[in-house]
Structure 1
Amino acid sequence: MLFQKPYPNNLDLAGENTRINNFIIDFLVSIILAYMAAKFTNELSGDSLMSLVVFIMIRFMYYFLPEKIYGKTLGKMITKTKVVDINRQEPTTLMLIKRTLLRAVTLLLTFISDENVAFHDQFSKTYVVNEV
């Protein structure tokens, strides 16, 4: 485990089941939105490389923009959790960019994570906490 309980600053980290629910909701919604945008792009341009770029950009923006603006994605809104830094403050833009980019490898590296702090959280120094 990277962190021992209690977690830094006694953060009330979202539990494993909540994190799984966040993942399922956000993954499905972001995949559907990205697929629809990529398909539309391909129909307009006939360029499959451009469609792939659109797919990746939509997936990135799905996570980055809501977490930057609201501190949470749709999944986190439903589960009443949010993303914070070690001081329970809004993460910096750079932290959120790292967090979003690292999501691409999170599933491959889950063995590094403990039950409540995912790989993309560890390396971006962000935490998903229960809302107060």
Structure 2
Amino acid sequence: MYTTSQSQKVRITNDMLASKGKRLANFVIDYFIRIVLVFGFGIVVAIYAHSVGDEDILYAMENMNTITEYLIGFLFLFIYYLIFESINGRTIGKYITNTKVLMIDGSKASSDKVLMRTLSRIVPFEFLSFLGNDDKGWHDTWTDTVVVDIKKYEEIKNSRNSISEIGVEI
């Protein structure tokens, strides 16, 4: 249940969940942003290495093996999702699609749940798991979290709050 400032509760229901299309858009946008961040980081490191004359760093970057590339990718994935979803439950993709991560009871996702969501994204093909029947990915199911469409969530929450205020004296 989500507790509002008036101590009224709103239960997360399936009609509040983000659509598969929005979930896919979140993934694509966030993936693109992570690629840009990794590329930008590589440029900064290369400029630094060139400015201090450290050819070893440049050589290491040019001859990086696949495992190291994956580890760097996972590091950026980890940092990106952990920071953004811990702060307010929204990555850049979620800002663009107007979606947000919440606990299944409607509360803000706790730091430990965000950490588990982030770690579970490392599972191969996990990013495709939300395409199943219930619009929830493994990282949602394993952590008791959901991604809601903020507009739908607010409309339903406000509607339920309005109904519960009928007959209440002011």
Shift of 1:57: 2.5
Shift of 1:104: 2.0
Distance 1:114 1:42 in 2: 45
- The alpha-carbon distance between structure 1 residues 97 and 55, as it changes in their structure 2 partners (threshold 3 A), is same
- The alpha-carbon distance between structure 1 residues 112 and 74, as it changes in their structure 2 partners (threshold 3 A), is closer
The answer as to whether partners of 2:104 and 2:146 remain within 8 angstroms in 1 is yes
Distance 1:130 1:71 in 2: 12
Shift of 1:116: 0.9
TM-score (norm 1): 0.77
Structure 1 segments, 4+ long, off by >6 Å, are none
Deviations 1:5-64 (A, max 9, x none): xxx742511011110111110111112212331454366334448x74554322211111
TM-score (norm 2): 0.62
Shift of 1:120: 1.0
Aligned pairs for 1:78-93 (under 5 A) are: 78-93=96-111
Larger CA Rg, structure 1 vs 2: 2
Q: Residue in 2 aligned with 1:36?
A: 40
Aligned pairs for 1:1-132 (under 5 A) are: 9-11=12-14, 12-38=16-42, 40-41=44-45, 44=49, 45-46=57-58, 47=60, 48=64, 52=69, 54-105=72-123, 107-108=125-126, 110=129, 113-131=132-150, 132=154
Q: Which runs of 5+ in 1 are unaligned?
A: 1-7
Q: Which runs of 5+ in 2 are unaligned?
A: 1-10, 50-56, 155-170
- Count of residue correspondences: 124
Report SS of the residue matched to 1:124.
coil
Distance 2:104 2:139 in 1: 14
Distance 1:112 1:129 in 2: 15
Percent identity reads 29
The answer as to whether partners of 1:113 and 1:119 remain within 8 angstroms in 2 is no
Report SS of the residue matched to 1:90.
coil
Shift of 1:102: 1.1
Distance 2:44 2:134 in 1: 38
